[in-house]
């Protein structure tokens, strides 16, 4: 059962808080990460979302990409087009974006400011 949260801090405060990066108005889930594993701040998450959206949907309306926080248990599915995504207890990355997995994980870990550069 999903319950929406309002911020990264709120998601970090609960054991089942997750961060969801999605594009195409929910049509593609890009990344699902346990909030406890996200070291970067919300500005870095927003930047990562914009970069992933440009890779997956070049030239799309920036408003079509959203950053969300929810309470979801391991094994639950985040519905969306292109197969949705799954809460795994680790960082889940859509297969189309897996070539960027190392950089995505580094941004989430606070080890780099952006996907590119």
Q: 105: part of which helix (H) or strand (E)?
A: helix 101-108
Q: How far is CA 17 from the centre of its chain?
A: 12
Give the contacts of 58 (CB within 8 A, at least 6 positions apart): none
Phi-psi group of 84: left, alpha or beta (phi > 0 → left; psi -120 to 50 → alpha; rest → beta): left
Residue 10's CB is within 10 A of a number of other CB atoms, namely: 14
What was the pLDDT predicted at 2?
A: 59
Q: 21: part of which helix (H) or strand (E)?
A: strand 17-23
Task: Tell whether pTM > 0.75.
Answer: yes
What was the pLDDT predicted at 4?
A: 94
pLDDT tens, N- to C-terminus, the chain (117 residues): 559 999 999 999 999 999 999 999 988 999 999 999 999 999 999 999 999 999 999 999 989 999 999 999 999 999 987 789 999 999 999 999 999 999 999 999 999 999 986
What was the pLDDT predicted at 6?
A: 96
Handedness of CA 98, 91, 111, 8 (dihedral sign): positive
């Amino acid at each position: 059962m999903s319950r929406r949260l309002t911020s990264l801090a709120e998601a970090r405060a609960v054991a089942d808080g997750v961060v969801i990066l999605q594009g195409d108005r929910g049509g593609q889930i890009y990344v699902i990460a346990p909030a406890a594993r996200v070291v970067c701040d919300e500005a870095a998450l927003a930047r990562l979302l914009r970069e992933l959206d440009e890779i997956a949907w070049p030239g799309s309306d920036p408003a079509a990409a959203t950053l969300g926080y929810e309470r979801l248990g391991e094994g639950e599915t985040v519905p969306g087009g292109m197969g949705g995504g799954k809460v795994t207890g680790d960082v889940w990355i859509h297969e189309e974006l897996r070539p960027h997995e190392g950089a995505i994980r580094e941004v989430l870990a606070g080890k780099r400011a952006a996907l590119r550069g």
